[in-house]
Structure 1
Amino acid sequence: MLLGSCPPGSMRHRTLTSSPALWASIPCPRSELRLDLVLASGQSFRWREQSPEHWSGVLADQVWTLTQTEERLFCTVYREDKSQVGKPTLEELDALHKYFQLDVSLAQLYSQWASVDAHFQKVAQKFQGVRLLRQDPTECLFSFICSSNNNIARITTMVERLCQAFGPRLIQLDDVTYHGFPSLQALAGE
C-alpha cells in the first residue's frame, strides 16, 4: 500500500477543512470544553488525536471526529452506509451534548468552587474547559477495572484490545479499524 493511501473499502479521517459540508457545530467556548484536556485526561480511553486538533473516537457505537474553535465545537459522524453520509443528526448531536454534559455551566461551577476554595481559585485559570464525561456505565466500569496499577497508555491499549476482541466492528478510517465497546453478553461469552 502506498504511503498515505487507504485500504480498499475504507474511508479517510475527515478534517474540518477537507469536507466542511459533513460537519455540524454547536456553540461551546473553549472555557466550557477543552477537547485536548478532556479527551486525553484518562476519563475515556477511546479518543485519539488523528490530525492536529482533530480527535477521533467512539461514542454511542458511532465513530466521530471532533475539533473546536474558540467559540464552537465541530463534529462529524462516520456511517458505513455511504447513502447515509451527511452531517450529524439532531439525535446524534444530543448524544454528544449529553456525553460532554454541555447543559452544565462550567463557568458557574468554577466561580462557585473558587469562592469557597482558595487553592482552586489560584489554579482554575490553568484548567479552564476541563469537565467530567458522562460515559456509558459498562465502558466506564471496565475501563476502571483496567486502570488498576496502570498508566494511561497501557489502559488505552487494554481497552482497545478488549474492544477489538469482543466489540462490534464499526468502520475503518485510513488504517484504523474502530470497534464499539462490547456488551456485557459479549464479555460473558454468551
Structure 2
Amino acid sequence: MTFLKSQVESSAEFPKILHEEDESVTGLRLEIPGPFDIDATLECGQTFGWERVTLEDGTAWFKGVIGCTGVMVNFDRSSSNLTVLYDTQDFCDPSDQKANARALAEKVFHYFALDDDLELIYEFLLHGSVSSGADVDPVMDAALSYGYGLRILRQDPWECLISYISSAMNNIPAICKIIGYFRKTLGKPVGFGQYTFPPPEAFMAAGHSCIRNSRCGFRSTYILDAADKVVNGEVDLDLIANLPLSDARRELQKIAGVGPKVADCVLLFAYHRLDAFPVDRWVLRAMSHFYFDGNAITVEQAKREGSRRFGPFSGYAQEYLFHYARNYCHGQF
C-alpha cells in the first residue's frame, strides 16, 4: 500500500479541550490526497457513531471510535491535513509509539476510504452514466458539487448491520441514541470517554430486556436474531466480503428484519460494495423526480435504473443523491 505522509505529534500542540494534561494522548497527522469533506462524510447519514465537537475558535472536531481506538479527528481544508488524536492506553503496548501510530494510520486510511479515487469516480458519474446525449448528467453534476469530497466509509460489518436494523422506520437522532446505548452499556471503555461497539456475544449475554432498554422497540427481536445467527455461524460476516452481490444480499437476508434495503446499506457502508444501490424514501423521490419526470415508481424500478446508469459506482451515486435530496432539495419534491 502506498501510504500517506504522516507524523506523530505531542498532545501539547492541540487545543485545550483535547486534554493536554493527559500525557497518554498523542496525535497523528495525515496529508490527504484528493477531495475530502469530513463534515459531509460523517454527517450524511451513513454512520451513527460520531459526535461533532465545536471548539471556541469555531473549528469542528469529530469524536468516535475506529476499531478499538477512541479518536478525535479534524480536517484542515487549507493544508489538506487530517489530524487524529488518540490515547496510547487503547493499545496493547502503549510504549511502542511508532508501531501504534502506523497501525492506527492504516485503520484511518481504510475506514475513510482514502484509497478511493474520487476524481475518477466523479468523471464516470458525470460522463460515463450519460445516456441522453448530453455532455454531462446535470443531476449528478449538482449532487457531486453539493457533496464534493464525501467518501463512502468502510464501517465494521457487525456494527453497521445493527445500525441499519435499528434504522427501520426510524430517524437518525434516534438511531444514534440506540447505538450510543449499546456502546455505553455493553462496550469497553476507550479514549476520550468513549466505548467500543459490543460483539454479538455481548448482545446474546445481555438478553432481551437489556436490548429493549435501548428503546429500539420491535427491532430488539431482529437484533437478537442477528446476534444469534452470527454467533452460531448461520450467517458468516467474513464470508460475505467475498460473495457476489446477489449472494451476499441473500446471506444477510437470512436475518429477521433484514430486507433488500438494509442488506444493500450494509454491503455499501461496511463492505464497500460500490455497486450496491440502496433505495430509501429520499432516493426513491430523487430518482422519480430527476430520472422519471416525477412519475410514481417502485423501489425496484429505482434500483434497476440506478444500477444501470451508475454501474460500478452506483453506491457513490446513491449517497450523493441521498445527501443532495435530503439536505438541499428538502421540500422541493
Q: CA deviation at 1:89?
A: 0.8
Query: CA separation in 2, counterparts of 1:178 and 1:107?
Result: 35
Deviation of 1:158 after TM superposition, in Å, equals: 0.5
CA distance in 2, matches of 1:137, 1:81: 21
Larger radius of gyration: 2
The alpha carbon displacement at 1:157 in A equals 0.2
Task: Report % sequence identity.
Answer: 23
Structure that is richer in helix per residue: 2
Which residue does 1:62 correspond to in 2? 69
Q: Secondary structure at the match of 1:84?
A: coil
Q: In the TM superposition, what is the alpha-carbon distance from 1:79 to its structure 2 partner?
A: 3.2
The partner residue of 1:107 within 119, 124, 131 is 119
CA shift in 2, pair 1:156/1:16, >3 Å? same
Name the residue aligned to 1:7: none
Q: 2-side partners of 1:43 and 1:91: how far apart?
A: 24
Deviation at 1:14, TM superposition (A): 8.8
CA contact (8 A) 2:69 2:90 kept: no
Q: SS of 1:147's equivalent?
A: coil
Per-residue Cα deviation, 1:31-83 (whole angstroms, up to 9, x for no partner) = 62211111112211111112231111111011011101121211111233799
Q: What CA deviation, in whole Å up to 9, does each residue of 1:97-139 have, x standing for no partner?
A: 0001111111110111111241102331111011111000000
- 1:67 and 1:138 map into 2 onto residues whose CA distance is 26
SS of 2:105's partner is helix
CA distance in 2, matches of 1:136, 1:15: 31
Aligned counterpart, 2:31: 27
Q: Which has the higher contact order (CA 8 A, sep 6+)?
A: 1
Paired residues for 1:157-176 under 5 Å: 157-171=177-191, 173=192
How many residues align? The count is 172
Q: CA–CA distance in 1 between the matches of 2:102 and 2:90?
A: 19
The alpha-carbon distance between structure 1 residues 124 and 59, as it changes in their structure 2 partners (threshold 3 A), is same
2:182 partner amino acid: L
Q: Could you say which residue in structure 1 is the equivalent of 2:304?
A: none
1:15 CA drift (Å): 8.0
CA contact (8 A) 2:36 2:151 kept: yes
Of Structure 1 and Structure 2, the greater strand share is in: 1
| Residues 1:45 and 2:48 are matched in the alignment | yes
Paired residues of 2:90 and 2:190 also in contact (CA < 8 A) = no
| Change beyond 3 A, Cα 1:108–1:140 | same
Structure 1 pair 54–133 and aligned structure 2 pair: CA distance change class (3 A): same
C-alpha distance in 1 between matches for 2:26 and 2:111: 21
Are residues 1:80 and 2:100 paired? no
Q: Is the 8 A contact 1:14 1:65 kept in 2?
A: no
- For structure 1, the 5+ residue unaligned runs are 1-12
Q: TM-score, normalised by structure 2?
A: 0.47
Instruction: Give the alignment's Cα RMSD to 1 decimal.
Output: 2.6
SS of equivalent residue, structure 1 residue 89: helix
Contact residue 15 and residue 54 of structure 1 kept, 8 A: no
Give the distance between the partners of 2:183 and 2:53, measured in 1 at CA: 19
Aligned to 1:93: 105
Q: Give 5+ residue unaligned stretches, structure 2.
A: 1-10, 131-136, 207-333
Map residues 96-175 of structure 1 onto 2, 5 A cutoff. Answer: 96-115=108-127, 116-117=129-130, 118=137, 119-171=139-191, 173=192
In structure 2, C-alpha distance between the alignment counterparts of 1:123 and 1:186, rounded to whole Å: 40
| Letter of the 1:73 counterpart | L
Distance 1:42 1:97 in 2: 20
Relative to structure 1, is the Cα distance of residues 149 and 186 closer, same or farther in structure 2, using a 3 angstrom cutoff? same
